[in-house]
Amino acid sequence: MDAELDLAAFAGLGAVVGVSQHGKRSMAATGVAVDAPFRIASLSKTFTAAATVRALQDKGFALQAPVADILPELDTALTVEQVLAQSTGLKQTVAAATVAALGEGDEVFLEAAKLVIAGGQEYPPGDRWSYYNGNYFLAGALLTRLTGETFEEGLAKLTSAAGLMATGFTAPESSAGAAYPRARRPSGGLWSTVPDLLSFCEFLLRDKGLLGEISTPRVWTPLAYGLAWAVGPAGMLYLNGRLPGYRAAMLLSPGDEWAAAMLVNDTDALPAIAEYLDGLQRPLTGVPMAGLIDRFAA
């Protein structure tokens, strides 16, 4: 274990951390193996967003394309950009139980999108950022239609291109907890590992066009947000996710070709994760990030 990746503060938990700079990695673990699978919760949104951007490009659509140009079944003036940037202003009316009741068929992504749109507006589109998983239920329907495949197949094209080996929706045999409803997968359904998350970050750092799209702030109130990533000082990208028994976080400094990922089997571990990741990146960037990471409590 590298000295700078001492995980003594997480003793008694299962925790894994990894850092990549210019493709050179350091990793450490306590309580579990470094390649242990974890639910990554809302970190899944970064995969959905990246896959959707690539699918738009493949089909010749701009990010500013109206959702209805792709999904004419939906009566909405929202754009794909607003969906991925969570600036739709949609009312948060669709509960997790409602989505779970849709079942497990291929049609659930479009059905969930219809429910989200039917909820109506709370704010004008593009006016402000507001965290709502419903935006990514809608993104799942967009990706499905753009690729002409199932959502899972569409996402697998991205994970394959990034060289990921252990990221997907199938729970490990040793896992505990309730199954994740299929229609919610675009917002938080993936399992992954720290090595795979570093591979994903390295993939983004190599693909400057894709990185430029996701890292450009699309909304600034109450925080700067790109496409599935919050944008901090000096262009730092950050986010976290949680599900019962899991907390996940990623931090990316594009200008330094630097990325970090951390997975912990404790829902309440975010403050400690935020301090830890901040300590890793502060000598490199000089930018305080702990408070931003902690306050972005997905």
Per the CB < 8 A criterion, the answer to whether 231 and 215 are in contact is yes
Per-residue pLDDT at 297: 74
DSSP labels for 150-211?
-HHHHHHHHHHHTT-SS-BSPPPTT--SPPPPGGGHHHH--EE-HHHHHHHHHHHHH-HHHH
CATH of domain 3-43+153-295: 3.40.710.10
Question: Residue 276: phi, psi to the nearest 5?
Answer: -65, -50
Distance CA 146, CA 6 (A): 44
Per-10-residue mean pLDDT of the chain, 298 residues long, equals 77 97 97 97 98 98 98 98 98 94 97 98 96 98 98 98 96 77 97 98 98 98 97 97 96 98 97 97 96 90
Please check whether residue 181 is in contact with residue 99, taking contact to mean a CB–CB distance below 8 angstroms: yes
User: Which residues on adjacent β-strands are paired with residue 20?
Assistant: 25, 259
- Lookup result for tokens 């829902």: 267
Strand partners, 21: 24, 258
- pLDDT value, residue 173: 80
* Domain definitions of the chain by residue range: 3-43+153-295, 45-149
Q: What tokens appear for 19 in the block?
A: 């850092």
Report d(CA 64, CA 121) in Å as an integer. Answer: 19
CB 108 within 8 A of CB 148: no
Say what the pTM is.
0.97
Which residues are CB-contacts of 209 (< 8 A; sequence separation ≥ 6)? none
Provide the pLDDT for residue 177. Answer: 63
Q: What is the 3-state secondary structure (H, E, C) of 64-91?
A: CCEHHHHCCCCCCCCEHHHHHCCCCCEC
